[in-house]
A and B are shown apart, each in its own frame.
Chain A
Amino acid sequence: MHRSVLQNKKYIEFSERYTVEVISLGSLEQGVEKEDPKAATYSAKNEEGEDVEYMLEFPGLTLEQMIALRKSPASQFNDTGKIPFTCLVDPHTGEEIQRWSGGQSANTLIEAVMLARRDLIQAHGEGLARQDLREVEDAVADAKSEARAGDFSKAFRALDKASDDDAHQVLKDKVAAGREAVLKIAKEAIDDLRELALDDPSQAKRELSRLKRQLRGTALEEIVQDAIDSI
């Protein structure tokens, strides 16, 4: 089931456009305790730029997230006492649409998803394209990453590129939240340079001047200037 669906190239491409995938895995802790190879992890950075260990068999998920998912409402659909079990859920109602007990092919799921999606569109209209959502999320992640690296010009450019007055409000909100996050990182950088000024005022002033150029036109421009003037 894992290889035939969750690691199936056709299903992976299909799911990128037409589904949200949730895994609820039983007995994970026992596998970890026994150091089963299937419980192996790989190192990566999360969206906050922090080092994390993701599960090799379930990329992008940490052990803690997988345990939380198993304890979440996602696990309540399988009342059969058997695995594998698969179901489709209507995100608007939280109700189950269709279920399968036992293994299913990728094609069976694809056909069922398309039928379910047709009904969802009839009831709620077309949703946002995932590609548009990913582009904005990636831009926000890039912006935060650049900001953490100290390049606020690049951070704002990434956000500007993702900004679109005609975009869905959710996307606009995500860009706005990304801008706030970058400004928060910039404010922390200013505070750090105020600290540095106590030991090395020349260096702090140079860094603050550089920061001021990058923050021109933002709410922090005046705050940087105050920091420079205070040295």
Chain B
Amino acid sequence: MATSIPKVEDAREVLKKHKIVIAGVGETEQGKIPNKSSFQFLSEASKLAIEDAGIKKSDVDGLVTAFSLVEHTFMHCTTFADYFGLRPKYFSSIAIGGATAVWMAAEAAMAIASGQAEVVLCVRGDNTLSGISSSGMVALIREMCHAEFEFPYGLTTPGGYALAAQRYLHEYGLKREHLAAVAVTMRKHAGMKENAMNKEPLTVEDVLKSRVIAEPLSKYDCSIISDGGAAFIVTTEEKAKTLGIQKPLAYLWGMGQGYSHQYLTTLKDLNQIYNAVESSGQRAFQTAGISTKDVDIAFLYDCFTITVLLEFEGLGFVPKGEGGPFALEGRMEIGKDLPVNTHGGLLSQAHLGAMHHVVEATLQLRGEAGPRQVKNAEVALVHGNGGIVSAHSTILLGKQPLS
């Protein structure tokens, strides 16, 4: 038998054949919740996703978790399996920062496609807001940059993104307003989401006048920190039928990753970031056999306003430098050209990596997003970014099976 080197087209065949789906989602209360532990949030979110799918806990035979910023354990997935009382056939912890949640769906799909598991629970939860000590926060900021060659200069985490933002504004002749517009859109969307932390309306002026953290970024250019959990269940269409799952399914259409740098010191230019985003998106698009024009709704990692613009442009929705004006014209709002982060994102809803981005994408495709529902949402893109715009992951989800 002739052998060949696998290509993304093969992934397309695999996704078409097995019809990998997200079949259940769950999100706990988000906010400042000081009386709950990290593993409690993971357990509550898992229970909600299992109940949402309408399956039994014992139907779950795969587990993908992330990491905790509070409970330091070097085997996170199995530590949680023990706490929750699961005995999975497949288990893995992914630790690629903000790129994690998106890649959970991809890894679950690969586990299923290779016969390792049939029903994979993907879950993340943490009491980041209430559980991190001030020394823990310093340790986290230190880990986000190069401890030896960057941290001694007082580089902060917002500062790292500010360095990217300053260069972005310089290269494309843009202003802080262009960044601020992203925060304004996220806030508007969060106002329509019950389970969101910050809902009071925000204007561009409010963002510009908020406390300066690291120029050109102010308080409202920065995401919130929160306590909470979220989960989703990945399986196949066939298995979902067997289990009697009634919820509409969200079909996985494609996935990809892209890597730029870990430390800003080794960044050559902004193109290096754009190329990593593009690489991530391109493989997802090629697998799905679609282009940006086919995307009805996008979920972009918004730990800081600048990341949304770099991702939006890198993915190819608009040419480089045009994301800022696009945002300022309100074109990322629900009902406009391309709604982005209809749940309010990390900037206004809650911060749990891209977990809520995946959950909201699923709700939108199901038609269950209530007042935030985007009409005729058929295809959703979700993009995660870990490190300081360094590690990228993208998935595409469809309301219908990939054809």
**A and B physically associate:** no
A residues sitting closer than 8 Å to B (CB atoms) are none
